Amino acid sequence: MSSVEPGILPACEFVVDHARHVRLDLAKLDALARQWVDQPFQVPGWDEPIHWRGTPEETLHYVLLLDALNFCFWVDPGQTRWEVEYQGQAFNGYKALSVALRRALEEGVTLTSAQTLAELTADQLAHILRGKGEIPLLQERLQHANQVGRQLLARWQGDFSRAVASCQGSALALTALIARDFPCFYDVSHFQGREIPIYKRAQITVVDIAGSLGFQGYGEFHDLDQLTAFADYKIPQVLRALGIMEYSEELAQRVDQQQLLPPGSPEEVEIRAAMVWAVELIRRAMAQQGRPLMAYELDWFFWNLGQSKLPGEKPYHRVRTVFY
């Protein structure tokens, strides 16, 4: 299988070079890279309390489902944020999704079965994801779960480990396979006549597989360093607070007033591409100073930085989308 084509980084660079609404401050970017050279970058291991683990093959199925449903947890103003209580603790967002799936598996729901996913009903999924408030885009999540099950049955005899093994330890090949075989992962936009692949959830699935299996067996990849950062809501917000990413006056006003941006709009594509390219430029600058890091390690550091309010922080851009 070929690597991801067209390349994510060249596509993102093209968007940044032709952007009208978003620009990167390269001087601030370089200064930050110099400042961070001595920072400890400790990416945490697979978080056992919120994640589930079975056999390697079962774990692959859990991770694929988890990341098929891993998108858009924010609610509109005035709505109750979705939360799941598990073992006496309340979780929201991605962590709520993970513990909800873990809870279901512990209750005997066979979520690691492709047949179960293919036949899953709206009522069953609503019960699996029960909590305070309601998870956004529940119907879309049902479609993703059904699609994962059906595609596994149609293409891989219901066994995702066959797909992973076919990639022979290539993270790029597995990213391309996931995006090809499971359309709900096909995260590609169009910008000035070009296709712009981002593949946020396909890439994060690969990294989650590696982490969940301790970078061994199915989780051992020889080219994880070729993956990019994962274009989401949070990291553009952090980059903007740090002064690295700047919005046009019109876009800044729309984002700061929490107006919805259309999925696939030039503004959204520019924000996501600029985020990926900014992290890549920081990674390259740090490597030149003798501090090699993988993009996903920097991604985690940025995401973690954004878990506390930063000076000058503005709202994140809002897009109702299944891709992040």
Positions annotated as catalytic residues are: 232
CA 228, CA 207: separation in Å to the nearest integer? Answer: 11
Three-state SS for 313?
coil
Pairing mode, strands 83-86 and 89-92: antiparallel
Strand partners of residue 246: 23
CA 138, CA 158: separation in Å to the nearest integer? Answer: 24
At 255, give phi and psi (nearest 5°). -65, -45
Pairing mode, strands 245-247 and 83-86: unpaired
DSSP letters along 110-134, please? -TT-HHHHHH--HHHHHHHT-SBS-
Closest to 268 measured CA to CA, from 228, 316, 212: 316
CA 234, CA 49: separation in Å to the nearest integer? Answer: 23
Tokens of 79: 């709505």
CA 125, CA 141: separation in Å to the nearest integer? Answer: 9
Report the first-to-last Cα separation within the chain, whole angstroms: 25
